[in-house]
Amino acid sequence: EDYDEFQAEREREPTALWILKPVAASCGRGIKVIQNHTKINKRDGILASKYLSNPHLINGRKYDLRVYVLVTSFNPLKIYIYDDGLVRFATEKYNNDPNQLSKKFIHLTNFSINKKNVNKFVKNADKKGAAEDSDE
């Protein structure tokens, strides 16, 4: 439905990068980072977003941070924040070199993808989680 609008946005920002995600897939399957000149077929089931080419990094790597909350009321607003969260890292240092856009270990933080980078993936040795080890 939004294909024409998406193409118009690509024309307005010719240097922008885009990330395409199949809506019916999981575990990082089918995700691509593309340049503006990359041809895209008009088809159903793709979510396109402008890709942040200068993301915040930790030790040179992309990451995502998940904080889990429960909203029990909107008026008055009541939000509970779960003590534990989740951080996932890419296993390769970030760069936005156009020749490196297809390298998923650089651009994606999905566990299912990065665990396959056997030389750089670091498995969590603490199966209980850090929160259970705290004195709080």
Tens of pLDDT along 55-90? 999 999 999 999 999 999 999 999 999 999 989 999
Whether the predicted pLDDT of 127 surpasses 90: no
Contacts of 45 (CB under 8 A, 6+ apart): 22, 23, 24
**Residue for token pair 């922008």:** 16
pLDDT at 30: 87
Q: Which band of pLDDT confidence, cut at 50, 70 and 90, is reported for residue 129? A: low
Q: Give residues with Cβ within 8 angstroms of 25, minimum separation 6.
A: 31
Considering the entire predicted model, what is its pTM? 0.75
d(CA 115, CA 113) in angstroms, rounded, equals 6
Is the pLDDT at 50 greater than 60? The verdict is yes
Average of pLDDT values for 96-113?
91
Closest to 96 in 3D by CA, of 64, 60, 121: 60
Mean pLDDT, rounded, for 89-110: 92
Phi then psi for 128, rounded to 5 degrees? Answer: -75, -30
CA distance 36 to 123: 36
Region 29-33: mean pLDDT is 89
**pLDDT category of residue 116 using cuts at 50, 70 and 90:** very high
pLDDT of residue 135: 34
Q: Give CA–CA dist 65/107, Å, rounded.
A: 15
